[in-house]
Every structure is written in C-alpha cells, then in structure tokens.
Amino acid sequence: MTNPPFPPADPAPPPTGAPPPPVPLADAPAVLVVDDEPPNVASLEKIFQREGLRVYTADGARAALDVLRRHRIQVVLTDLMMPGTSGLELLRAIKEVAPDTEVVMMTAYATVEVAVQAMREGAYDFIEKPLKRMQVVKSVRKAAERNALLLENRSLKNEIKLLSRRELVGQSPALRRVMATTLQVAPSSATVLILGETGTGKELLARYVHEHSARKNGPFIAVNCSALPESILEAELFGHEKGAFTGAVARREGRFARAAGGTLFLDEIGEISPAVQVKLLRVLQEGEYEPIGGDTVRADVRLVAATNRDLRAEIEKGRFREDLFYRLNVIALTAPPLRARREDIPLLCDHFIGVYCARNGRPRLRLAPSVLRRLHDYPWPGNVRELENTMERAVVLCSGDTITDDLLPESIAASEGPAPEVLHFPVGTPLEEVEMQLIRETLRHAKGDKSLAAQLLGISTRTIYRKLGGSEDPAGA
C-alpha cells in the first residue's frame, strides 16, 4: 500500500496560472530524493524546487548511487523501506561513495531501534511519514548547512596546513645562492654543517636538504642540543637499555634509531658537552654507536648539524673538538641573515600574514606602505623569526583591514633604520690596503663573525683568513 508523503490536509497545489518555481542557482544545495513511489517523489521534487534547491530523483539504490557518482549532492532524502535494497543499506553505500553527503531518512514504519541504528551509521536525521512540509524542508536545509560548514572547515584546515608549511620564502640573490648550493649537495650522503644567526631558518634549510636527498622518504628527526642537559642529551640521542641507570625503568629508543633510513638534524651543535662530542665523533668516524647499557648498533642516518656559534673560535678556546669539527664541516651552508636579504621582506610578510589570518579565521590583511618601509629599514637582530612574530602580533591586534604603524612593536616603530656605512680612501690607496680595511670594517659590523662577514662581502670565509694573513685561521687555512 502506498504511503502518501503528506497528510490530506496539506495545502493543495497552486492553481493553473500560478508563477513557476524559482530557477535554482548553480551553487544552490543539491538534494537527491530516493523513493520507489513516483507520487511521493513528484511531491517532494516540487517542494524543493519552490525552495530554490537543485533536485535530483531516483527510484532505488542503484539509480541513487549512479546520481551520486555523477553529481555533487549535498543531501540525500531516502525512504527506509524500498524493494531490493533497504534505506539502511543505501546509507552504508552512500557513505562509501560520497562520505561528505548528508543523509535524511524517512519512513512510515519508524521504531526507536531503527532510528538509533540509522544515526549510528551516519544519518543526519530521521523523520516519520506522513511528512510535514516545514519539517522536511527544515531538516534538508539544516543538513545542507552542515555539509557546507564541514566542507568549509576542511578547506580552511587544508589552507592553514598549506600556508603553515615551513619553507624558505624569498627570491633574493643571497637566498638563491644558498638554495642552489643546497640542491647541489642534497643528493649526496655527505654530512652538512649549517651556519647562521638565530632565527635565520637553519632547520628549514636542513629540511630542504632532507627533502631533496635519497632519504626523503625516511624520517626527519630534529634535536635541539641546547635545550637538554648533558645527561639527558646522551640518552636522548643514543637511547638506553632497561636498568642502564637509576630511573631507566624501560628500554628507550634514541634519536639515532628513530632517524634510521632518514636524516638526523642536530641544532645548536656547538652546545654539546665534550663527552657527547666523543660519542658523536665515533658515529661519524665508524658509523656506529652504543646505547647506554647496550650493545653496538650500526647508524643508518645522514647527519645535518647547525650552529650560531663560530666553531673555529670554540676550538681555540678548547670547547669544541677540532676533529669533530672537520667531520661535521664536510659541506658548509650559511643561512643568510634577514638584513642581507631585505628584498625578501615583502614576500615574507605576505606569507606570514596569510598564515596567521587563516589561523585566526579572518580575511587577508594588507600592509600600509609606511609599515613596509619601516620593516625594510629595521636591522632585524632576531631575523626571520622576529619578523614572523611581528606579523602574528599585528594580525591579532589589527581591527581593520590594514596593518598600520601603530601595530608594530615599539622597537621597530622607533627604529630610524640602518645608518649608511661609507668608507673613504684617498686617491692612490693601494688595493690591498682597501681590501684589508673593508674586511676589518665588515668584521666590526658583523661583531667578529667571520662567516657573516664573508656572506656580506660575497666571498668565502677562507678568503677572509687568507687576506688577514692566514695566522688568524686556527686550522691554518
């Protein structure tokens, strides 16, 4: 016996000559009506058309799944009791074919058990026949809204994930040079030492090495050596066996083991103790190590290290092993400071604004020209990390659509920019003397950091040592 979808008291259809239903917009929600009774389908189709929805119909499960494969459907309204395939079976099939589509079920034979089962299997709503026009419209519209919200949230999460990918942003010559060198050395198995100030992106450069190496499908494990005391760092790197020391209640796998088949990144390598330096040297020389209290293990990692210290100076002071330095310094890369790549500041600002606007769920902001000028002129002692923090702060505090000067930290707002540094030489000054004075002034500007001075001058650190007489090079380079 056919069960009419609506009670007889429901208003009669509009008389001949009534205005036609509105034409649905292309982006209007699409609803698929599934019922084996043509009169029921026709009644529901008219209702949803008058609501401005796009309507598809099917007389059974097979036809419904065919529609779902060919069209993007927001909501399926299906009868529970149909010949061949039940509504619950169709619900399961829908969640396989179109898992984002919401399903509203209708039946004249409702029981609590069936309703609970339908909801557990992913139905959005369960309504009884005879249907009430407002009830079915409300249920379908709410299901469509939920579908749109879920897709919007997923899209936003994907955007945040994409924007939040830690990557080296910029097109400056200084950055392009180091990236070109990185691409050359990444495919090799050589140990890499990354030099640079705090906040310049040394870990990002290490990840770039990993992602362009033969080990890119293996793990990338990072350890901040300065964040852990000596006793903990040794166990963290090499692992330990149960009972190896007081408190070792269970065996612990070290970072070398976790990085097997991939890359181990040791940040702030200049901070490690002499005892850990000895064990690390053994790994680099012999390719093996011993967990605390354990047996010898082969190391299957590529080592990338980084430091903001002058390791040659640390060697002179007896704080870093010279043999370990040469094992680490097979390939040296220098992450340029932000002041050496000021032309990248607009790109970096745009990147960070996009990240933090997405995270805070707000429209993308723009920078006032005066702000960009201040950012360009600021010396950036904290480098890219300081710029990122500045942009995050500005996004959070901005109440309009433009980041203005008043949203900058006082240190930047009050900055007058870098003073021009000009050297004057009398006509006839020997070229060698000009070079020496230029190198000394650049070293003074770089506070004695020879790697930074070399980067600013566009020459190698070895050239600086040679120009200064060679004796200043502890390695005799």
CATH number of 420-477: 1.10.10.60
Q: Return mean pLDDT, the chain.
A: 84
Checking if the pLDDT of 136 tops 50, the result is: yes
Q: Please tell me the total number of residues recorded for the chain in this structure.
A: 477
Per-residue pLDDT reduced to its tens digit, 39-89:
989 999 999 999 999 999 999 888 999 999 999 999 999 988 887 778 788
Report the pLDDT value the prediction gives residue 163, as an integer from 0 to 100.
Answer: 47
Checking if the pLDDT of 456 tops 90, the result is: no
Checking if the pLDDT of 441 tops 90, the result is: no
Per the CB < 8 A criterion, the answer to whether 357 and 364 are in contact is yes
pLDDT band at 473 (very low <50, low <70, confident <90, very high): very low
CATH number of 339-413: 1.10.8.60
β-strands 220-224, 262-267: how paired?
parallel
CB burial of 223-249 (b: ≥16 within 10 Å; e: otherwise) equals bebeebeeeebbbbbbbbbeebeeeee
Report the pLDDT value the prediction gives residue 472, as an integer from 0 to 100.
Answer: 45
Give dist(CA 357, CA 215) in Å, integer. Answer: 34
Residue range 153-172: mean pLDDT, rounded: 67
User: Where is mean pLDDT largest: 194-198, 360-364, 429-433, 441-445?
Assistant: 194-198
Residue range 204-217: mean pLDDT, rounded: 95
Beta-bridge mates of residue 107: 128
Per the CB < 8 A criterion, the answer to whether 353 and 367 are in contact is yes
CB burial of 109-122 (b: ≥16 within 10 Å; e: otherwise) equals ebeeebbeebeeee
CA-based angle 386:392:398, to the nearest 5? 130
Per-residue pLDDT reduced to its tens digit, 347-369:
999 999 998 998 888 889 999 99
Per the CB < 8 A criterion, the answer to whether 414 and 374 are in contact is no
Task: Flag the least confident range among 154-158, 217-221, 323-327.
Answer: 154-158
- 169 vs 294, residue with greater confidence: 169
CATH topology of 30-162 equal to that of 339-413?
A: no
- For the packed helices 431-445 and 450-457, what is the interaxial angle rounded to 10 degrees? 120
Q: What is the largest CA-CA distance in the chain?
A: 111
pLDDT band at 431 (very low <50, low <70, confident <90, very high): confident
Give dist(CA 119, CA 167) in Å, integer. Answer: 43
CATH topology of domain 173-336: Rossmann fold (3.40.50)
pLDDT more than 90, % of the chain: 53
Per the CB < 8 A criterion, the answer to whether 409 and 363 are in contact is no
Checking if the pLDDT of 9 tops 50, the result is: no
pLDDT band at 323 (very low <50, low <70, confident <90, very high): very high
- 116 vs 14, residue with greater confidence: 116
Report the pLDDT value the prediction gives residue 101, as an integer from 0 to 100.
Answer: 93
Report the pLDDT value the prediction gives residue 82, as an integer from 0 to 100.
Answer: 81
Give dist(CA 419, CA 278) in Å, integer. Answer: 45
pLDDT more than 70, % of the chain: 85
If phi over 0 gives left and psi between -120 and 50 gives alpha, with beta otherwise, what is residue 2?
A: beta
Please give the C-alpha separations between residue 304 and each of 192, 203, 207, 222, 262, in angstroms, as whole numbers: 5, 9, 9, 9, 11
Checking if the pLDDT of 300 tops 60, the result is: yes
Give dist(CA 148, CA 159) in Å, integer. Answer: 16
Indicate the domain borders of the chain: 30-162, 173-336, 339-413, 420-477
pLDDT band at 197 (very low <50, low <70, confident <90, very high): very high
Checking if the pLDDT of 179 tops 90, the result is: yes
Checking if the pLDDT of 278 tops 70, the result is: yes
Only one residue has tokens 């092993």, namely 321
For residue 443, how many C-alpha atoms fall within 13 Å in the half-sphere facing its CB? 14
Task: Flag the least confident range among 28-37, 123-132, 364-373, 414-423.
Answer: 414-423
- 141 vs 294, residue with greater confidence: 141
Q: Indicate the class that CATH gives domain 30-162.
A: alpha beta
- Cα pseudo-dihedral 400, 163, 185, 264, rounded to 10: 110
Q: Is 216 exposed, middle or buried (0-12, 13-18, 19+ CB in 10 A)?
A: middle
Report the pLDDT value the prediction gives residue 453, as an integer from 0 to 100.
Answer: 78
Report the pLDDT value the prediction gives residue 189, as an integer from 0 to 100.
Answer: 93
Report the pLDDT value the prediction gives residue 303, as an integer from 0 to 100.
Answer: 97
Per-residue pLDDT reduced to its tens digit, 366-417:
999 999 999 998 999 999 999 999 999 999 999 999 999 999 998 888 765 5
Report the pLDDT value the prediction gives residue 164, as an integer from 0 to 100.
Answer: 45
Entry pTM:
0.57
Task: Flag the least confident range among 208-217, 268-277, 425-434.
Answer: 425-434
Give dist(CA 378, CA 412) in Å, integer. Answer: 6
